[in-house]
Structure 1
Amino acid sequence: MLRNSAEAGNEKPEVITPRPRDAPPSVNDVASGKTGDSNCWESAYQEALHSFGSSDNEHETHAIGNSPDVNELLSILRREREGLSESSWFQKGLEKLRGPLGNVDFLLHLGRAVASLDPTASTAVGILSAVTTIAVGACGAAETVGNNIVEMIKVMPIVDRCDIIHQSDRSEHIRQALVDVYKEVITFYLETHKLLNSKAFTAKATVRQLSGELDKATRGFNGAANRLKDMIYLATKEDTLEIKEGIRTLQGISPSWPTLQSNRPLIMPNVQVDGRINTERFQQIGGYHDRMKRIRNDEACQWIFRDASFGSWLSAPTSQYLTFFGVLGCGKSVTTSCIVDYLEDKAKAEFPHPLILHHYCKIELGSTGSECIYISLLRQMLTKQRRLYLAFQAWYDEELGSGTTEPMLSIPALESFLIKCYEYCGRPLYVVLDGLDECDEDTCRGLISFLDRLRKLSLSREGSPPLKVMFSSRNQVSVRRLLSNSPSVSWFQSLSRDRLIAEHHINMELSHLPPESKSWLIRTLPELSHGSALWIYLVVKNVRASYLNELHSVRKLIDGFPAYSKISETYASLFDRITGKDEDTRNCLSLALETLATAQRPMDVAELSYAVALDASSGDFTTLSALAGNVEPKRVRELIGPFVTSIHIDYSVEGNAAPILEQVALIHQSLTQLVQLARPSNWTDDLKGPQSSADKKKERQAVRKRELHGQLLRSCVGYLLLDEFDKIALLSPQHRSEEAVFDLPFYEAQPDEERFLDPVASGFGPFFTYAACHWLAHAELAAQDSLPSVAELVKLSAVTSKRRENWVEQYCRPDCTRGRKFEMPYRDPLAIAACFGSSALLAEMLDEDLDDWDTFVADDPMLEAERLMLEYGRLATYRSLFQHPKARQSKFFFLATTAYFDHSHRVPSTHLCEDAEEWEKLFGLVYEGADVLVDERLGNGLLCHAAKLGCMPMLRSLFGAASRNASLRAEMLRNGEVEAPRHMSVGEAVRWNQFAAAKFLLQQPGIGTHTRYRNSAGDNVYHLAAESDCGGEMARLLFEHFNEGVDERNGDGQTPLDIAVFFPNRLEFAQALVRIGHVDIRGGRSAEMYRPLRVAVRRCNQAWCSFLVDECGADPSTVLELDADGNSRFVDILDDIPGFEEESRERKQSMLEFICSLAKTKAGKRHRMLAVPGHDKTGMAGDEQP
């Protein structure tokens, strides 16, 4: 019997322990980061479960998760579905349901990932799993499939979409509909329990009976699920209407906005994200994953799924890390791609569906930076959780409003939003990061620190979904140190796995070989490879390139091939075999490999061919037509074949097909590093000579990398200077008039619209897009002697030239979209020279006529150049030009102070110099510029500006220079006339809560005039401190130097205490004033209603009231009076909370009770004092009587 079988199995199902849940967060909560536990499914399940909690149902609800009969049935079905044999009920159920349901993702993946489902019904996820398993098994055991069961399984996946609860205004309706669904699921489960206890059936008979009885029991579920589906549809529809309304608002503001057609569908694609970044790089990362899928043998990757550490990581209920360590070339990236697909497949059979995010950190893809990793993860998250788009837009606008120049390039801003997304989604999150060893150590440290914060957040909140992170890396000491507490999986050599890999590559690449040659290679290569999948791949490519077929020739080739441990010799041998001794061929392939090793992204063959032709020509071509005659794409593609991997990118968007582009990148990091170490045509000779130490190789590689960037920079500039590009236009007038349409948020291209620009069709050739978008990046990394000359820069970037217009428009559209994605930060030749040029180049550029409006665009080109030099951290370059006649010395100091503040407080772009010594040297220029500050009367303003921003290097330099220059000291310490709320130096430091700056200033001789200064509103430094976010430390500091100012009144008659009482968070400051300054607690204003205690009562601030009564001796009875019935009430009308009348009433009543309790306590103390013998009973003031 079922019951006995269950007992024999000793199964102990988990007992349900309902947990309280927090209310789900709102959209505003998401924007502000205030999110709590967001597991809407568990919350709804627990509420549904409690609804069955009456005494009549208590016995039945106890059966959930505790029914031996149900558990035995589930065990039988589970054992069958794990085998998925053709005769199992579960498999038959899948086959029967596939007909009426069609290609339902949930059902298909249920069949492949059933082993991961835990059929215990004590959780929201478990009961759905249990009910679905029973339903499928019931369909398999019955002769016919009930319509209601079909409908039930069909609508079951709608439950996964219920996390829209957190976003929609209909959240309460959706939540209640979800509760109703869970009630019906529980009813289904209980019905199963009743049927199993009604008679003693065999399992098969029971399941057959269930197929009929449960077909009736599912009617209620289907009705509830369809109501839930309607609610979600309405909520989604409202989001779409909100977007449409936003566009109509734009139309109302500007009639030039295009009319929104009511019959045009709107979607929410990655416009906001893609509009801020070069999405081509992230499409290449997606293409790389597809390429890994194409070249892998899935069977050769299965070993990792059988590893105990991987299984523990996967099944752990809490957040976990796992690191996959492997040697160079063992196939880590291929295995990682298989893990990603396995997790994706597994997730589709789980409720709620976990989020699976992945990223490949590859030098050849340019995807190893922190910003690139975070944006890649963010794009995937937004794609899979489209409800996050509105939250993304709110976050982006908020970051811009807070002063972040570009949120998508700010690491702290990206980390902050990713944390909000994780909290908001309420789903398990899997993150798979491949190639951690290819990132620099700072990036690794920052990335793991961020993930640690996410993990701690998950572990600190009960019920939070787990975060599972898997890294893959070479076995490097730096990585092991960072992940020392993380469990790991280590690659091991396996001959059987190597045979699978060899057979896979040989069948793909060498299908033309005779059977005996293929068989010999499949047997031999695994034994020689010693586990190096990369070596097997290169050998196969070498055999293919040799055009050898017969076994004896292939055997001879392999016998002469370098061993697996000498991967550099393998590359060199392959290069020599392809090129032979033909110098032109060797030069062509060398240039191609050098270009790919240096390029900012993978390139298509046409781009690569033009770059090679330009480099080989040494600038001999002046027209595109002449250059085109020397380009050989077929030859280049054939030569690079064994050294590259193909990446296919689909540029299509919904409703608009685009061609799939093939791009190529070097096959492995080891090849990139070898190219960066030596010219490919010299590999064989270099490897024969004595080998340098690791440090020498590193130095040599750094020098050569700059040379290679200079080489590709010359190709880019040479291409952009071709004559045609100063005569034709990239954008037509019609395109410019339509551009606003493509910049619209949420705009969807239509099938008949051409969304992509085609520079080739417009006459600009294949290399124009790369050259225009990336020449500046190469300029930043190139050796100084490789930079364009002044004449070339002026020709390339003169403001009124057609050439500049063309390449700038392309630079702003790196993906060839019609709408701009970037703005050009470098507006003229001087700005480019300031960011990338040497001191000599910049000095030569300054000799040009800066007032030539045909060349320069800024109102003050030199000032703009100085700003850019600061932004890019080119401090040493500027110091060398400080004495140039065109240098704007006085204004520069203000710019430098602001830049230092950005550097110190806002973590600016990676270009900003982080060397503190360099900043000190820069501000030391004040010694040389002192006369300018005096002559232009800017010393005082610069001092106040530095104090406001807390720029200590500037403050030290100013007073150091002033100690040698009396005129500068007098200029700095004069009292200027400023409008409130501005102040002199000490007041500015206090107003912006710059404690270190205030302390430094107060120690300087002669600063007393600034300390005692009052602005146009009569405010002294204490008034400013009371208005600012200063604490007790600032109050004590000021009192040491200016104690007489604590009770001074400003122009409105207010003392600092009068101001502080209006701010709840100024209590610490006020406490310090009272304790060390003995301020007058009555304040400065004569009107009773402005006395501090009266103000604190009107503001409903109990903490302030306690402080004023307990520490300051204020009498609470002075704010109370009796009404006609003898009940206490307040003398004043308390301030209302706008829009919250009910809350105002509750707070007022609470405040009244609190003040009455203070009055009673104080009266009791007074009576006890009067009872003391000798106490003066007449000394009490009249207004202090109880």
Structure 2
Amino acid sequence: MSSPTRDDGFRHWWRVRLKHIRLKSRSPSRRSGNKQETLETQNSDSQPSAAGLLLSTQTDDAVPDTDPDPEGAQARTDETSHQVNPNQTHIPNPSIHVELVDNVSPDLWSAAYREAVESLGKDIDIAILKGRNVAELFRQLGEINDEATQESAFLKGVRFLESIQVPLGKFKMALDLATPLTSLDPAVSTVFGMVRGVTAVAITLSTADEDFAKQIAAMLEQIAYIDDCDTLGQKVDKKDIHKALVLVYKKLLEFYSAAYEILSRRGASVIVGLILDNSDLPEIVQDFLRQADTLRKLVQKATLEIVEDIKTMLYDQEIGRWLGSSAMRQQSQYHAYLQDLRAAEACEFLVRYRNFINWYSASNSQHLALLGEMGSGKTVAMGFLVDELRRRSEKQIPQDKVCFYYCQNGGPDQAVQILSCLILSLLEQLPGLKKRFYGWYKQAQASGNFEPATDTKKLREFLQRLLEAIDRQVFFVIDGLDECDRTSRGVILKCLGILSQKISRLKVLLSFRPHDEILGQAEGMPQLQLGCAFSRDSVIVRKAVETHLSCLPKDVEALVIEKVSQLAKGNAIWTKMVIELIQTRGIMAIGPMRLFLDQVPVPTQLSALYTMLLSRCTSNEPENEHLARKALAILAIARRPLSILELAWAVAMGTAPPEVTTVAALSDWVDHQRLISLIHPFIARLNFGDLKKRQVRLIHQSVRAFVIEQVADQPQTQASSASTDRVTLNRRTESLEGLLLEICINYLQLDEIGTTAIFPEEQVAMEALPRDVDLFNDDDLQPNDALNCSWEDLEHGMARYDPADRGFGEFFVYASCHWIHHFGAVTNSSLPSLASIESLCQAGSTRLDNWVQQNCRPDCAIQPRFEFDSSLYDPLSITSLYGSEAMLRGILEKSEFGKDKFLPNPLIGAATQILQWGDFPRLKILLESKHGHQLHNLDFFRLIIKRWSAFATQFKDWDQVFDHVDYVLDISVREQWAGKLLSLAAGAGCMPIVRRLVMRAQQNTELKEQLMRELSCDELRQNALRAAVQGGDLDLISFGK
């Protein structure tokens, strides 16, 4: 032991020295000359900087502190330190040339350590980080023994720390307490080595004083947070942690440097005592603790953020699994698709509706419905309204929340999907509610409801609690509610009703087709209507053309926009698919484009959509599908819109078994509610308050084309050509005509219609009396006024009747008025049986009279619109007027005119009707038939001349009638009535017949002689005729017409 005087001087010297080191560690100034000499003695050739040592790939682990040849170890270390990596980076130093190596560990600890070393610069003795000096330091640590016990100072430090209850075993240290010094890295040029060195030194020096030992213990505990800087193993870019870690490393380096100075200058036996009199080293420890505490707080903060992120991820994962996050993603993707599809200009009018303005501005909970037919663009419009609500919300504080759902495909559990998506949407917009919802869900599971996400009542309860937990306006937008099945639809409407009663700031917007059942459930709800508007159609078409047909020539583009806009009739989905079909076909020239637009086929996608809808509405049940297809076929070919009851009775007639032969029996088969539910997507909006109103029609011509196209799927109408082929199209259409014709004929043959007169005799007598005539009023309707009025206007206020009240059912009016139109449209395969026509049109029958009386009263006004005397008609005359030529030839060929079903002279009767009402070419069919001889007489031509003389028929082309003179010329000569025909024609002034006879007489001597004999009198006209016949000079004939 040294003397006290000597020790005091030594202590004073070390106190000054440590203070000098502390000041230099905080100042960028260069160290003293003595320090510079120390650095130079470590490497006389070139001195690497501390940063260079950190970045080097050399490892001093190769030099163990137990190497028997310390000088050899130092030589190997120096040799390794001078090896240059090809990828090294050179960083200039003001006084020393340093070579840096690039292939450095990229971890955050090394980066912070490097910055700490570089920030200290010349204020730290680089030599103490060299392997030889570190090894010497560790050797000295091992030699510091207690003089009494010869115990290692390090182990003594361990025991001392444990004695003051410092739990070293619980600290996360880079040091093995059992063999601390033999496992130490003798170089501190890496983070790991430096931290281990500081730990060993700190434990060794901790025996100086109990207070100092406690500071050391706190220091060792804080060192553990260095390992946690990656925040639970996540590589994150946290600049605040990096800066704090740099400061911690600087303090550790200062501690290490100061400890090195103490341990390397004097004997180890007096080191511990010196620390008590020197306040700098404890001050360094205190600085370290402050910086380490900052680092700890930052790490804890970042860790807490990550833990919260992990919890949020777990919440998201669990909630997404419960509620079906994939469905939510599909909804978002579909909404984005609609954004690209829409023409905003075609939707902007919706927000100007008074109902929308009132709904949006209301202070309480409100519902609003957007109604439109299938294909009218409801879904695109709803997407527009979603974005419009979001746009308005961006300018508000607090912002409204908008949750939406598109019902794209009907199916089971739609209610569950809708409620789940609304909850998910709300949670995504307000993530602070996730933890609360998670707790509710777990609580529900704990109470025995293991799958709350499948329970609509529980989902509604969750949704209500979420809405009650927030204080801002929420919009629920649900599109296509009619796509849901009846049960799901009812559940959703009920849930929304309950929520609206309990949540004052909930706004609900629904869209659906105007189906009676939904309208009943949504009764009293304000409405927005998506109707048919040419201007809106034009906007939609123009947008579709710009998107898909931008390369079209300008004239072709203009043609497409004009024609498709005219054909759209409010059907946006048809518009879209037709434009896409043009794109697919690649039509560019105006000729093919015009042909395409004249015969627009049903796009394949649209046909698939209609098929899917039909399957959904009929639940894939064969009988339902049969009824629906029958109804759609009737509507596709009907001559006018039908009433709900008319359609139901027609379908019943078309599907009833053969034994149903009375109106009363057929009524039992009528089910209009079921029928409309099966076809409601395909028909226009109905007013179910008036079942007799003629309102049932297909929503678009594409539906009619689809129905006609489907006829080809029937085995008997398979077509080998394309659906656009005119012949195929005509055949399919005729098949539908035959279907409805058969229904009409079968209906009119029901028993009551053949036995009960529609008008009793007394009513017929009253009908003959003048009605509503004011003999003293000169303001009665004038003929010219009548020409400008419709029949509906003329019949307004007239007395009416209802055939159903007479026991004729609801389809009697249509069948009576329009069966003849379908009768004329069928040719070969769809022709009705002759027996059915003969029964329906039997001369003098009540059945014939009933439908004829109704035919001239299509709107059931008592006063008929035109003359139609049933006593003048029989099967042949009706067929001559209304049947196809094929049917006329068939009845002429196969019917027996001698039966009581026909008039006594059926051909004359038929010819009379043709000459008055029909097509003149049909006379030739009569003349050429096997019964044509009945017209080869003077009476037939007398009939022709009589009808020709009538004013009403002179506008017709009579030449084709007069040409029949040539057909019977030989017969007239043979039967000696040619001259009488000439006299008859001349007397009526019928010049066309006279001229034909005169001209033919020039080539036929027998005819000339017969005509001359007929003209034997001396009248002026007869003389002129005789001269004309004799010389063939038609100019001599100057009379007649």
| TM-score bin, normalised by smaller chain | 0.3 to 0.5
TM-score normalised by length of structure 1: 0.33
Q: What TM-score, normalized to structure 2?
A: 0.37
